Chain A
Amino acid sequence: MLQRLNFWAGGVLVLFGAAAIWIGGNLPHGTLTRMGAGFMPFWLAVIVTAFGFIVLLEAFWKDERVSIPLHDLRPAVFITLAIVLFAVLIETAGFLISAFLVSVTATLASPGLTWRRNLVQSGLIALGSAALFLGVLQINLPLLPR
């Protein structure tokens, strides 16, 4: 059962719906004429939960399996890391360094590239994106660390 696709899909929906109901629990519902802030979120969350249960039911007769091969996790980890890195760095490290490090980290997601190629490629991407964003598009961001 634990490997069945719809078991997880339905479970996620039910959890999401239940969480939304819980988080929005203290919002006023109001009446049908004058709806409060909590009315729509509550009912939408109820609908999501209901759909979740239907999908859960499907898990019983549709035996599709989820598979997450290990080589799938490598891109997910490195690219997410790269994005978080950008969020942390951009306020202080300036555009060039941030873009360079983001590119280096992201490139690690693809196995089989040499470090030298990664660094050269990332340097070019950093320079190119700086030219595009700060030069052509005139976006006001500091190029170098403050």
Chain B
Amino acid sequence: MSFFDGLLVAMEPANLLACFAGALIGTFVGVLPGLGPVATIAMLLPITYHLSPAAAIVMLSGIYYGAQYGGSITAILANIPGETSTVVTCLDGYRMAQKGRAGVALSIAAIGSFVAGLFATGVIAFVSVPLSDLAQQFGPAEYFALMSLGLVGAVVLARGSVVKALAMITVGLLLGLVGTDVNTGLQRLNFNMPQLADGLSFAAIAMGVFGIGEIFATLGRKSAGVSVIARIERLWPSRADLSASVAPIVRGSILGSALGVLPGGGAILSSFASYALEKKISRTPERFGQGAIEGVAGPESANNAGAQTSFIPLLTLGIPANPVMALIAGGLMLHGITPGPQIITEQSLLFWTVIASMLIGNLLLVVINIPFVGLWTKLFKMPYEILFPCIVVICCVGTYSVNKSSFDVLILGLFGVIGYALAKLDFEVGPMLLGLILGPMLEENFRRAMLLARGDPINIITRPISAILLTASLVLLCVILLPNLRRTRETVFQEEA
């Protein structure tokens, strides 16, 4: 199986439609301020159960990178980041719009995203196969170490207290263990409820804490009033704009692709890092924040590249790097596919179809975005009073349709309330979701590793690969806890809020 087999399958009408739908929905939620890709993917997760596995993953991934395009539209035109990953685009993009260069900023963002998307697709295609070959040699001990690293990485991006983020991961791991113990068949932590024998429904929890929880939060906020949307005069960038943007786009693509692979990485980290980089190496850093085109080109390329390469750890190692990937892992599991290195060998056609669809999706996004940008800005004004009842209905029907279980719908409601309470107490739900999806895998590998080591925990530490991975997670943990970095993290997230 190769890329071209995947391309052929991706060109099949059903998959092409899924790709288009994903890109369209992604742009849509990117533009809408009250709805992000995480909530949307959570909402649509159960619906994809009724599609073919390939179409499902093609669509879900389209939503993620499509949202990166859409988010930049509102960031540039209205100074409102539709997505957290487009926060930095506001800084210079909106300034450009105020100077009457909104169209140029939009085109550069789209061109940068497109180039970065192509580059990242290439990176995935070349890196994944060797990486999964390497991962095939991993034993349970290595897997346990790798998952620990992934979970610690999830904390890097959590805002606020590190201890609270770690606590949420552990809570997630614990929730993941509810249900039947696969090794002994015993029922655990299920309050003697037969509905919980298969564990808590991942889709219901994800929709509850993200979809429903976000409604509570948005309705609770006082509406900020309608903001002014900048007019678009000139769409195509001049030759000077283009030549100023080439280097930032290339740097953003490379940086974003590299950071997307890291645990905890993805679109958000990439865009922040790229902005910082461009500002640092610029000969005229004072122009940043005043409408520098490099400040749009770099981060916009980086966030799209990062969004795409964050698929690498999921597809090759089975480790979701961020909450969106945790949801996509959940989507794979709904279709009975366990994320891991065996995907490339056993589901090779699915793998290449998803990769090829990213190429098609990025092409579609340019077509959807640039000519219709006026249409998208109209959508931006869509009243939330219409949107949120739709979200509630979709969440209810979606949850119910997976197992035809009213019990799951109640779980949805319960976790909506829990998500709300956690947000009020300054807990982040993203790390919890990662824990939830990794809980059973972590336990399984830990138990197997200990069985192979005859109960000697030292064995896990002395195996070279797992030793390296565990040391890396320990170092990462220390770095996060260092007061210096903590302060930078806080300022980064304050800028965002």
**Chain A residues within CB distance 8 Å of chain B:** 5, 8-9, 12-13, 16, 20, 23-24, 27-28, 31-41, 44-45, 47-48, 51-52, 54-55, 58, 64, 66, 68-69, 71-72, 74-76, 79-80, 82-84, 86-88, 90-91, 95, 98-99, 102-103, 106-107, 109-110, 113, 121-122, 125-126, 128-129, 133, 137-139, 141
Contacts and interface: CB of A to CB of B under 8 A. Distances in A.
Nearest to B453: A33
Contacts, number: 183
Contacts of B219: 74-75, 109-110
B427 A9 contact: yes
B71 to A, nearest CB: 25
B1 interface: no
A107 B409 contact: no
Interface of B: 47, 50, 161, 163-164, 166-167, 170-171, 173-174, 177, 181, 183-184, 186, 188-189, 191, 212, 215-216, 219-220, 384-386, 388-390, 392-397, 400-401, 406-407, 409-410, 412-413, 416-417, 420-421, 424-427, 443, 446-447, 450-451, 454-457
B394 A129 contact: yes
A119 B388 CA distance: 15
B216 A75 contact: yes
Contact of B167 (A13, A76, A87, A121): A13
Contact of A32 (B47, B386, B443, B457): B457
A76 B216 contact: yes
A48 B183 CA distance: 24
B424 A103 contact: no
Nearest to A16: B171
16 contacts: A13-B167, A16-B171, A34-B455, A51-B166, A64-B426, A66-B425, A82-B392, A83-B395, A83-B410, A87-B406, A90-B396, A110-B219, A110-B385, A121-B385, A129-B397, A141-B400
Top 6 closest A-B pairs, CB basis? A33-B455, A83-B413, A51-B167, A32-B455, A37-B181, A87-B409
A79 B215 contact: yes
B425 A12 contact: yes
Contact of A68 (B392, B406, B424): B424
A15 B164 CA distance: 15
Given A35-B446, A55-B167, 14 more contacts: A12-B421, A23-B191, A27-B188, A41-B188, A44-B173, A48-B174, A69-B220, A75-B219, A76-B417, A80-B413, A83-B392, A99-B397, A109-B388, A129-B394
A68 B417 CA distance: 13
Classify the secondary structure of A's interface with B.
helix
Given A79-B416, A83-B396, A141 B401 contact: yes
A125 B425 contact: no
A90 B401 CA distance: 11
Contacts of A90: 396, 400, 406, 409
Nearest to A112: B385
A129 B401 CA distance: 13
A59 to B, nearest CB: 11
A40 B441 CA distance: 12
Contacts of A33: 450-451, 454-455
B174 A20 contact: yes
B190 to A, nearest CB: 9
Nearest to A20: B174
A44 B177 contact: yes
A82 B388 CA distance: 12
